[in-house]
Chain A
Amino acid sequence: MALLEVDDLHVSFNTADGVVRAVRGLTFAVDKGQTVGIVGESGSGKSVSTQTIMGLTAGARVSGEARFEGRDLLTMNQRELRGVRGAKVGMIFQDPLSSLHPYYKVGWQIVEMIRAHTPISKAAAKNRAVDLLRLVGIPKPEARVDEFPHQFSGGMRQRAMIAMAMALNPILLIADEPTTALDVTVQAQVLDVMKRLQTEFGTAIVMITHDMGVIADIADDVVVMYAGTAMEKAERRELFYHNHHPYTEGLLASIPQPGADRTKRLLPIHGTPPSLIQLPTGCPFHPRCPYAFDRCVAETPPLASVHGRADHLSACWLPSDEGERQGERARVQAVLAEHTEISTDVVKDFAAVTA
């Protein structure tokens, strides 16, 4: 049995404009000590799904199951949930400034967190807080523990958040874009800390990010989300080097690769993500997909095994055989490379008028 099993999760919100279907049938599992990366762009439902699992989306319509150690989190009452949140599942959020209380000392906030779950003395909890701050690489933790969040830099705040999330030695850590607000060198420090904690304590991590670079660095398994649902699921190397879904392919082709030929153009995904109120028929990606054909518009593809591997799932009607899929790829990429963002006629007119 996996540590966390999310099964057919649906989350929707009623808004003045209509029903926003933020998550539509998401299924994934996290094993002990494993890192699962959930990657997707804004509005793909990656944050909403994990927040719902932790009971943090008030007012949402939720269906499905999320079993943590065999118990469904979605049907737990608040008191039971409180025993899980913080103690067994730690959470790290994107914006460390708004997730720390500005009026309380950082140490106090960590102490409160520890004492809410374990009956230990204030002094012992504070010692623990100092150890934790040292653990995440905060200099002079004995002094820093009595400082306020505004006296910390962005990277230190995020490290303090990690210290708080790790305070009770959780079995699972949910990190929601933990490094997005940070500079690359600080991001490297934070990822380094998370990896060390994982090796030392065997914590499982759900890493939510839009950054394929972070995924390549830290994830074991990857779930690619688009329009509230999983498009592709695979082991990390399989996903990067043998991806099947055109959305995954498009995401990777959009990123400038270090050391790649700079004269080669990036191959962006055209158009914009769909509205979650009025989703396209069939495959939600078909309006932007360079491979789309009739069936994509009419029928929604299920997540099915591809490339002959049981652990590689893709929701796409394209041939599941890797060889056949590759042939298509070469043809489409050649067409994409020809596309320019501006038409030469328009430029000539513009240049002539403004010259």
Chain B
Amino acid sequence: MSSTATVAASRSGESSDVLLRVENVVKEFPVASNKLFGRSHDAVHAVDGVSFELRRGETLGLVGETGCGKSTLARCITRLYSITDGTINFDGRDISRLEGSDLRDVRREVQMIFQDPYGSLNPRRRVGSIISDPYAIHGTVDGGARKRRVQELMELVGLNPEHYNRFPNEFSGGQRQRIGVARALALRPKLIVCDEPVSALDVSIQAQIINLLADLQSELGLTYLFIAHDLSVVQHVSDRVAVMYLGKVAELADVDDLYGHPRHPYSNALLSAVPVADPNTAAQRERIVLIGDVPSPISPPSGCHFHTRCPKAQERCVSEDPALLPKFADAPSHVAACHFPVADGEDLSTAKAAIDQEDAADVEDVGSVLSGLGETPGFAGAAGGEEAR
């Protein structure tokens, strides 16, 4: 299975280097029945057998579109959700089934920064008390020392320590995200899970927070799991990147390998769709426009989850779930879950799936609709208007 392959591949490295090992993690959410009688057995397969390793001091980027399960996975790793199946190994210890005070000990070492700097801070509490919460909960620092430590933290993340008694609404979005960073750092965790930490911020502020996270990492030796949908940001911050699609890892590789030689057709499509702030690159690029939408995670497609939209899909993709393995002559650290990986220089924009894909036909005849629209029966008004121009 896919999990054994990745684990075997990455175990060739130093195993004591590994801070976090996620093996075959599954998270399902039961769906409420909409029938009057009887219980539904449906479930949202949010995370569907994900395995990877995170080494000390590195940043693993996790990318994917809305609903691919990346945030759910983050919450599983921080044990905010209990997992349905699989194991999570943190610092040599299985934390996937821990409860109570054991779990609390782990949480000292695994902290999280959330996406929404407005929603993640209690508006009725002062910033000083928000940042000192970890000390109160874990009982590590008390009294006057606590206030001193919090002010140090505020200084550390670039806030004015004199603003200790202010409320969150007195801070801008970027400053609030700094508060979130300070709170996550308070207990000197080993791992920080950053769930879209800069998505809600304006670009100029985004860069400030990205630099702050990078500075903290190099000074304090932190390990990041960095989740984002912005592929340029992920490329900038990550050492390795995992691409998720519909609850599964589609491709996992060192950042330069992934961005330079994407093997999975989904990674290719994703990368080709990233808006580049450079007109010449944008003009040259062959964009792969995917057909249709992400299928429902309640009943994901059989075989490879991506086969309903993949330009290279064949019969085998429908029946057989591809394992996460190195393709071509790639390094063992570069794995992709695809039967028909994309070779370097292959043009996907003209590729055509060998199986029937539901949405394909409609996209094909857009051109004819465009030309025929002016003559829509009974639509003289608009057609006339067009001539008048």
Residues of A bordering B, CB below 8 Å: 32, 41-42, 117-121, 123-125, 127-128, 131-132, 134-135, 137-141, 153-156, 168-169, 171, 183-189, 192, 196-197, 200-202, 210-217, 236-237, 240-241, 250-260, 262, 265-270, 272-273, 340-344, 346-347, 349-351, 353-355
Inter-subunit contact A347/B293 (CB<8 Å): no
Contacts of A141 in B (CB 8 A): 362
| CB of A53, distance to nearest CB on chain B (Å) | 21
Q: Which of B275-299 contact A (CB under 8 A)?
A: 275-282, 287, 289-290, 292-294
Which of B270, B282, B287 is A192 in contact with, Cβ under 8 Å? B287
Answer whether A262 and B377 are a contact pair too, CB < 8 Å, given A41-B203, A212-B277, A353-B149: no
Which of B216, B255, B270, B366 is A196 in contact with, Cβ under 8 Å? B366
CB closest residue in chain B, given A211 = B275
How many residues does chain B have at the interface if contact means C-beta atoms less than 8 Å apart? 75
Alpha-carbon distance between A269 and B378 when the two chains are bound, in angstroms: 55
Inter-subunit contact B273/A184 (CB<8 Å): yes
Inter-subunit contact A254/B152 (CB<8 Å): no
Task: Pull 10 A–B residue pairs with CB atoms less than 8 Å apart, ordered by A.
Answer: A128-B379, A154-B66, A184-B229, A212-B275, A266-B210, A270-B208, A272-B205, A273-B202, A347-B216, A351-B219
CB closest residue in chain B, given A117 = B381
Inter-subunit contact B219/A169 (CB<8 Å): no
Inter-subunit contact A183/B66 (CB<8 Å): yes
B373 at the interface (CB under 8 A from A): yes
CB closest residue in chain B, given A42 = B202
Answer whether A256 and B236 are a contact pair too, CB < 8 Å, given A120-B379, A183-B65, A192-B289: yes
CB closest residue in chain B, given A340 = B215
Inter-subunit contact A350/B156 (CB<8 Å): yes
Inter-subunit contact B366/A135 (CB<8 Å): yes
Inter-subunit contact A118/B381 (CB<8 Å): yes
B369 at the interface (CB under 8 A from A): yes
Question: Which 10 pairs, one residue from A and one from B, show the smallest C-beta to C-beta distance?
Answer: A213-B275, A124-B378, A268-B207, A256-B236, A212-B277, A254-B207, A188-B273, A269-B204, A183-B65, A118-B381
Alpha-carbon distance between A355 and B293 when the two chains are bound, in angstroms: 49
Inter-subunit contact A217/B275 (CB<8 Å): yes
Alpha-carbon distance between A136 and B65 when the two chains are bound, in angstroms: 21
Interface hub of B172, B206, B369, B372 (most chain A Cβ within 10 A): B369
Alpha-carbon distance between A132 and B273 when the two chains are bound, in angstroms: 24
Inter-subunit contact B233/A256 (CB<8 Å): yes
B83 at the interface (CB under 8 A from A): no
Residues of B bordering A, CB below 8 Å: 65-66, 149, 152-153, 155-158, 172, 174-175, 188, 202-208, 210-212, 214-216, 219-220, 229, 231-233, 235-236, 255, 259, 269-270, 272-282, 287, 289-290, 292-294, 358-359, 362-363, 365-366, 369-373, 376-379, 381-382, 385-386, 389
How many residue pairs link A and B with beta carbons under 8 A? The number is: 219
Which of A124, A215, A268, A344 is B219 in contact with, Cβ under 8 Å? A344
| CB of B165, distance to nearest CB on chain A (Å) | 20
Contacts of A185 in B (CB 8 A): 65, 269-270, 273, 289-290
Which of A131, A137, A236 is B373 in contact with, Cβ under 8 Å? A131
| CB of A94, distance to nearest CB on chain B (Å) | 14
Inter-subunit contact B278/A257 (CB<8 Å): yes
| CB of B108, distance to nearest CB on chain A (Å) | 11
CB closest residue in chain A, given B68 = A183
Alpha-carbon distance between A213 and B270 when the two chains are bound, in angstroms: 14
Inter-subunit contact B389/A266 (CB<8 Å): no
Contacts of B377 in A (CB 8 A): 124, 127
Inter-subunit contact A342/B273 (CB<8 Å): no
| CB of A289, distance to nearest CB on chain B (Å) | 12
Inter-subunit contact A139/B376 (CB<8 Å): no
Inter-subunit contact A214/B156 (CB<8 Å): no
Which of A201, A214, A250, A349 is B152 in contact with, Cβ under 8 Å? A349
Alpha-carbon distance between A288 and B190 when the two chains are bound, in angstroms: 35
Contacts of B385 in A (CB 8 A): 168-169
| CB of A186, distance to nearest CB on chain B (Å) | 8
Alpha-carbon distance between A30 and B86 when the two chains are bound, in angstroms: 57
Which of B235, B274, B366 is A262 in contact with, Cβ under 8 Å? B235
Alpha-carbon distance between A343 and B159 when the two chains are bound, in angstroms: 12
Inter-subunit contact A135/B373 (CB<8 Å): yes
Inter-subunit contact B376/A128 (CB<8 Å): yes
Inter-subunit contact A268/B282 (CB<8 Å): no
| CB of A34, distance to nearest CB on chain B (Å) | 14
Contacts of A118 in B (CB 8 A): 379, 381-382
Inter-subunit contact A120/B378 (CB<8 Å): yes
Answer whether A258 and B366 are a contact pair too, CB < 8 Å, given A153-B293, A237-B279, A272-B174: no
Alpha-carbon distance between A184 and B287 when the two chains are bound, in angstroms: 11
Interface hub of B259, B275, B292 (most chain A Cβ within 10 A): B275
Contacts of B220 in A (CB 8 A): 347, 350-351
Contacts of B174 in A (CB 8 A): 272
| CB of A343, distance to nearest CB on chain B (Å) | 8
Contacts of A119 in B (CB 8 A): 381
Inter-subunit contact A251/B203 (CB<8 Å): yes
| CB of A154, distance to nearest CB on chain B (Å) | 7
Alpha-carbon distance between A184 and B294 when the two chains are bound, in angstroms: 12
Interface hub of B153, B281, B294, B378 (most chain A Cβ within 10 A): B378
| CB of B207, distance to nearest CB on chain A (Å) | 3
| CB of A5, distance to nearest CB on chain B (Å) | 18
Interface hub of B290, B358, B359, B376 (most chain A Cβ within 10 A): B376
Alpha-carbon distance between A307 and B206 when the two chains are bound, in angstroms: 30
Contacts of A240 in B (CB 8 A): 277-279
Which of A139, A262, A344, A349 is B362 in contact with, Cβ under 8 Å? A139
| CB of A243, distance to nearest CB on chain B (Å) | 12
Contacts of B175 in A (CB 8 A): 272
| CB of B163, distance to nearest CB on chain A (Å) | 14
Inter-subunit contact A196/B278 (CB<8 Å): no
CB closest residue in chain B, given A214 = B275
